[in-house]
């Protein structure tokens, strides 16, 4: 039931996908704060969730900027709006002092521990998960290099071509989800059947090097297959590198979350999803993978 919905929202993109990521990011951040509370820390949950949503919004800001600028122009209002980078700085320069000021009047435990957990949660969960929205929104004019991939004359880009490239963004995110699922499944079955050498016993006693290698190979193979089926803009090298990023950092992300739970003394981040733990348990692999793929495609490939 969940997988078709995720695929549908990914294909829709825009504010639909943003809302999806914002919701799972909010639940995951709340679970992170619960883990911190289990260690005796008292994070500012409400303010952290608001801050996290604002950070998520940064990655859809270019679309918001365009809509707001058009709306203001309709009323002959000329306002200088901040850029995406400026908005990022504005949010952090506002919320970081605010969190400290709230602690001044809160009188509930350690300022260092409480504010540190609040801010770390936003950076670790909200910012990293939000970058998946940024990845989905790279496939638009001004971000995607249309003139590199298509023989275009003049400044106008046909709407049909814009729609085609935007679908590539959906297929790229779907490839990310699929490669993570394949990586997890391959690592599990290979580890169960062939695993003999422990990977990181202190953090995750059941993980093995055999499983990790199988997961890595599965992630790379998934991206190579996705390139040939739905991602014509990708070179073979790009597909292999994307697969390597998923194959390595999806598994590391899972182990980081395992360490958080082990430190907090809990089995699952929550019981929100019966039989599967919490949202943070289900999407922990995205936390390290999303920003790396976003930066790789934005700053190197495009």
The set of residues, in sequence order, having a beta carbon less than 8 Å from that of 132 and lying 6+ positions away, is 21, 59, 173, 176, 286, 290, 294
- As a whole number of angstroms, the distance between CA 146 and CA 139 comes to 9
Q: Two tokens at 128?
A: 């990293």
Distances (CA, A) of 272 to 69, 115, 185: 40, 26, 22
Per-residue pLDDT, 235: 96
Per-residue pLDDT, 67: 78
pLDDT tens readout for residues 57-73: 999 998 887 777 677 66
Per-residue pLDDT, 153: 81
CA 52 to chain centre: 12
Per-residue pLDDT, 1: 62
- Strand-pairing partners, residue 204, are 200
Extract the residue ranges of the chain whose pLDDT is less than 70.
Answer: 1, 69, 72-73
DSSP per-residue letters across 73-90? HHTT----PPPHHHHHHH
- As a whole number of angstroms, the distance between CA 190 and CA 187 comes to 5
Q: Two tokens at 16?
A: 């639909």
Per-residue pLDDT, 166: 96
- As a whole number of angstroms, the distance between CA 149 and CA 233 comes to 7
Per-residue pLDDT, 80: 77
Residues in the chain, overall count: 302
Full-model pTM = 0.93
The set of residues, in sequence order, having a beta carbon less than 8 Å from that of 289 and lying 6+ positions away, is 176, 180, 245, 246, 249, 250, 253
- As a whole number of angstroms, the distance between CA 296 and CA 263 comes to 32
107 contacts 134 by C-beta, under 8 angstroms: no
Distances (CA, A) of 112 to 99, 243, 253: 11, 38, 25
DSSP 196: -
pLDDT tens readout for residues 186-203: 999 998 888 788 887 787
H-helix or E-strand containing 207? strand 204-208
Per-residue pLDDT, 123: 96
């Amino acid at each position: 039931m969940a997988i078709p919905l995720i695929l549908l929202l990914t294909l829709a993109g825009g504010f639909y996908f943003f809302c999806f990521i914002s919701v799972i990011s909010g639940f995951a951040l709340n679970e992170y704060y619960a883990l911190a509370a289990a260690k005796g820390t008292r994070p500012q949950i409400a303010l952290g969730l608001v801050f996290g949503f604002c950070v998520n919004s940064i990655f859809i800001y270019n679309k918001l900027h365009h809509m707001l600028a058009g709306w203001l122009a309709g009323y002959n209002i000329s306002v200088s709006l901040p850029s995406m980078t400026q908005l990022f700085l504005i949010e952090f320069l506002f919320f970081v002092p605010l969190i400290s000021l709230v602690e001044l009047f809160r009188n509930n435990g350690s300022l260092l521990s409480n504010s540190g957990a609040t801010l770390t949660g936003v950076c670790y969960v909200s910012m990293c998960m939000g970058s998946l929205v940024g990845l989905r929104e790279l496939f638009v004019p001004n971000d995607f290099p249309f003139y590199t991939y298509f023989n275009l004359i003049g400044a106008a880009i046909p709407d049909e071509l814009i729609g085609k490239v935007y679908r590539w963004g959906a297929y790229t995110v779907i490839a990310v989800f699929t490669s993570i699922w394949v990586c997890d499944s391959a690592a599990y079955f290979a580890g169960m059947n062939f695993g003999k050498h422990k990977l990181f016993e202190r953090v995750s006693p059941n993980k093995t090097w055999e499983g990790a290698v199988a997961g890595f190979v599965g992630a790379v193979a998934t991206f190579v297959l996705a390139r040939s089926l739905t991602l014509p803009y990708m070179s073979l090298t790009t597909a292999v590198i994307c697969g390597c990023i998923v194959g390595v950092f999806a598994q590391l992300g899972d182990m980081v979350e395992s360490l958080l739970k082990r430190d907090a003394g809990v089995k699952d981040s929550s019981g929100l999803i019966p039989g599967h733990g919490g949202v943070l348990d289900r999407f922990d692999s995205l936390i390290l993978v999303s920003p790396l793929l976003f930066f790789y495609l934005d700053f190197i490939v495009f």
